[in-house]
Amino acid sequence: MSEENVPALPEDRQGPGEAREVLDVRQGLFHASTTSDVSGYNDMTWYVEMPQGSRPPYGGWYDDAVERLRAGVADPAAAIRKVLIDRGEITLFIAREHIAEVARVLRDDPMLRFEWCSSVSGVHYPTDRGAELHAVYHLLSMTHNRRIRLEVSCPDADPHIPSVVATYPTADWHERETYDFFGIVFDGHPALTRIEMPDDWPGHPQRKDYPLGGIPIEFHGATNSPVHERRDYNS
């Protein structure tokens, strides 16, 4: 939507010079688009948006960690797109071409020492144009008892992100699962194949554009059809 139609955030929630990144605008309590909203809240507007970056100082150990990471990568302005502090947790939004370098610095720098990648998960934002697919990495420093989160995005038309398996071997199965369910291709992964769905399964089931329902299931002589074939609410 156009920037002039989006209300400004309170001053204490605004990042340094950032505009609001609104992905969608929904109306009413149930956000119904094909039927009338009978909730009485049809004038309510909800803006679906990506969070703005936080302003330094971030507080606690976050400032030293971010500065240490900036000093360790070759091009910090290009590698670290923004820093978000929310609910006492830190998330670094990293450009996809720099994720492997950032992972190595976070693991190897003695002042950072994030030795373990506990998970890699996918997120699908269909209305985030040019960045529809996101991969989220959860890292733990056992040395310093700290946690950090990295988030990397890529377009649906080019769903490629460099693998971090060479740095974090524990990411092997997690990257495979994210590929399986969301279709993100982790370049450099040693064996990027499906891990839960059959090899010939069409599509990626956790994407929001994947059809609701499943495959017909037969039991006790009856057939249970996919959800989207059971009932028509438009007739």
pLDDT tens string 172-214: 999 999 999 999 999 999 999 999 998 988 899 999 988 776 5
Statement: residue 49 has pLDDT above 60:
yes
Q: Is residue 33 part of a domain?
A: yes
Q: Is residue 126 part of a domain?
A: yes
Q: 42 versus 215: which is more confidently predicted?
A: 42
Buried b (16+ CB within 10 A) or exposed e, 138-164: bbbbeeeebebebbbbbebeebebbbb
pLDDT class of 36 with cuts at 50, 70, 90: low
Q: What is the domain range of residue 23?
A: 1-52
Q: Is residue 142 part of a domain?
A: yes
What letter would DSSP give residue 181? Answer: H
Which residues partner with 153 through β-bridges? 134
Q: For residue 90, what is the domain's CATH number?
A: 3.30.460.80
| Predicted pLDDT of residue 217 | 60
State the Rg of the chain over Cα. 21
pLDDT tens string 61-116: 999 999 999 999 999 999 999 999 999 999 999 999 999 999 999 999 999 999 99
Q: In what order do the strands lie in the sheet with 133-141?
A: 80-86, 89-94, 146-154, 133-141, 116-124
pLDDT class of 12 with cuts at 50, 70, 90: very low
Prediction pTM value: 0.81
| Predicted pLDDT of residue 34 | 60
Whether 181 and 77 share a structural domain: yes
Whether 105 and 3 share a structural domain: no
Number of domains in the chain: 2
